[in-house]
Amino acid sequence: DTGVSQDPRHKITKRGQNVTFRCDPISEHNRLYWYRQTLGQGPEFLTYFQNEAQLEKSRLLSDRFSAERPKGSFSTLEIQRTEQGDSAMYLCASRPPGTSSSYEQYFGPGTRLTVT
């Protein structure tokens, strides 16, 4: 039983470049979340997918950010024209369909982005 995987684990990019991250949720998990975590803070919600539909986006998700989940399986998060303030850990999480008494989200290891 594999967990949530994210690729790459680390990314260093120059300001102004575009970057794309990938998240593979646990199979059968139809709900997928993206979070951003800056140093010394808790994760902040970015966006939510149920199957292939993007149902909620945070105001944190500026127009430079776009997320997709084309076939309801893996998801990508793209940041265009990166800025130094985008440096953070980007976390992906997934949940199975239906109700769960614990509402647990299963997190991946994250992608650490450094913008120089």
| 105 near other proteins, rule: CB under 8 A | yes
Residue 2 makes contact with other proteins by CB under 8 A = no
Q: Does 41 bind other proteins (CB under 8 A)?
A: yes
Please give the angle made by the CA atoms of 89, 56 and 115, to the nearest 5 degrees.
Answer: 25
Single out the segment in contact with other proteins by CB under 8 A; choices: 11-19, 66-74, 78-86, 101-109.
101-109
Burial class, 79, CB count within 10 angstroms (exposed 0-12 / middle 13-18 / buried 19+): buried
Choose which of 1, 42, 59, 63 interacts with other proteins (CB under 8 A). 42
Per-residue contact flags (x/-) with other proteins for residues 43 to 82, judged by CB under 8 A: xxx--x-x----xx--------------------------
Beta bridge partners of 32: 49, 94
Tokens of 70: 């084309």
Q: Which two tokens stand for residue 93?
A: 């999480």
